[in-house]
Amino acid sequence: MMKKNIVFMGTSEFSVEVMRSLLKAGCEMKAVYTRPDSAGGRGQKLLVSPVKKAALDSSLPLRQPETLRNAEEPEYLKVLNPDAIIVAAYGLILPKEVLELPPFGCVNVHPSLLPRHRGPSPIPAAILAGDEETGVSIMLLDRGVDTGPVLGQERLPIGNEDTTETLTRRLAELGGSLLLSVLPDWFEGKIAPVSQDRLAGQRGATYSAIIKKEDGEISWNSASAREIWLKVRAFYPWPGCHTRWKGKILKILRAELLEGVQQLDGPGKVVEISPEEGPPRKVIGVAAKEGVVGLETVQYEGGRPMSAGEFARGHRDFVGSLLPQR
């Protein structure tokens, strides 16, 4: 890696892996930017971002501005004189003054195959869409939302067991390694940025929405079994998926898609079935708008995570009950 002055901007666990890759490669990190501490959890205690914790552990200069749209931060960055600003899941918009500051631009590590799944939630969006693959795009930021030209891409298959948690981990590792392979060639002028409109084999641009806590509620009568199965995986670990039983929240931590199971009951009906495929077994399922979702791991309000079978044995009236509709 050529010796370049780097400013890093990121907030999430995904960002940490990318930052660590840069440090291992010997980059001179002049400062680390992350979002301000936020109140959360029990007692609304101040929570620090994963990037802040990693930066403090490595004794790196840390900045936590509320916004970059002021006079102070662009001036501070000018003093740092970075050759490039590396961005990975930062969460703040970079104004024109910042975008135009470094000679090698603001390089973003985006966990999707752009132009598919632009926006703030590309990893859960790929699972929700039922995509068979995703990947990482190294791109130059411009004033649009993930619309800048691409310096490099690498694909990654999505497995049937992947959740946002597992896919984030895999994409972070891929993003770090891809960034390290792209940056030296970019610094040496060996890469010509490619407009997203010219990327071969890509479908049209799509945008991922901000995920809200209430999005995790399951609607048995308006979604198919496949859609619910994808949702459980996409929303794990946050915001998680849930339904209600006897007025209390029942979290669905893991589910399976029961292919070929005939739906005999109306949406929301809890059933015990023996799938024809695979080894002989009993599965606790819930009828959806189309098909049946197999419940694997659940957590009743105030209790611990357990298998759906264990929950049904402890609550004999669960099988045969009707979960609420929306």
Please report the pLDDT score of residue 58 as a whole number.
Answer: 93
Residues 70 and 137 in one domain: yes
Residues 142 and 243 in one domain: no
- The residue from 143, 169, 198 where one domain ends is 198
Instruction: Establish if 322 belongs to a structural domain.
Output: no
CATH code at 274?
3.10.25.10
CATH code at 69?
3.40.50.170
Percentage, residues of the chain above pLDDT 90:
85
Residues 157 and 233 in one domain: no
Instruction: Establish if 204 belongs to a structural domain.
Output: no
Instruction: Establish if 272 belongs to a structural domain.
Output: yes
Cβ neighbours around 237 below 10 Å, total: 10
Q: Does the pLDDT of residue 39 top 80, yes or no? A: no
Residues 140 and 223 in one domain: no
Residues 172 and 245 in one domain: no
Instruction: Establish if 54 belongs to a structural domain.
Output: yes
Q: Does the pLDDT of residue 41 top 80, yes or no? A: no
pLDDT digits (tens, 9 = 90+) for 228-251: 999 999 999 999 999 999 999 999
Instruction: Establish if 324 belongs to a structural domain.
Output: no
Q: Does the pLDDT of residue 151 top 80, yes or no? A: yes
Residues 245 and 270 in one domain: yes
Please report the pLDDT score of residue 3 as a whole number.
Answer: 81
pLDDT digits (tens, 9 = 90+) for 249-302: 999 999 999 987 777 789 999 999 887 666 667 899 999 999 999 999 999 999
Structural domains in the chain (count): 2
Print the domain residue range for 292: 213-314
pLDDT digits (tens, 9 = 90+) for 180-201: 999 999 999 999 999 998 885 5
pTM beyond 0.85? yes
Question: Across the chain, what does the average pLDDT equal?
Answer: 93
Percentage, residues of the chain above pLDDT 70:
95
Residues 117 and 232 in one domain: no
Please report the pLDDT score of residue 178 as a whole number.
Answer: 98
- The residue from 164, 198, 232 where one domain ends is 198
Instruction: Establish if 203 belongs to a structural domain.
Output: no
Instruction: Establish if 323 belongs to a structural domain.
Output: no
Q: Does the pLDDT of residue 17 top 60, yes or no? A: yes
Average confidence (pLDDT) over 147-153: 96
- The residue from 198, 231, 249 where one domain ends is 198
Residues 287 and 167 in one domain: no
Please report the pLDDT score of residue 198 as a whole number.
Answer: 86
Residues 173 and 228 in one domain: no
Please report the pLDDT score of residue 111 as a whole number.
Answer: 98
Instruction: Establish if 319 belongs to a structural domain.
Output: no
Average confidence (pLDDT) over 71-100: 95
Residues 166 and 277 in one domain: no
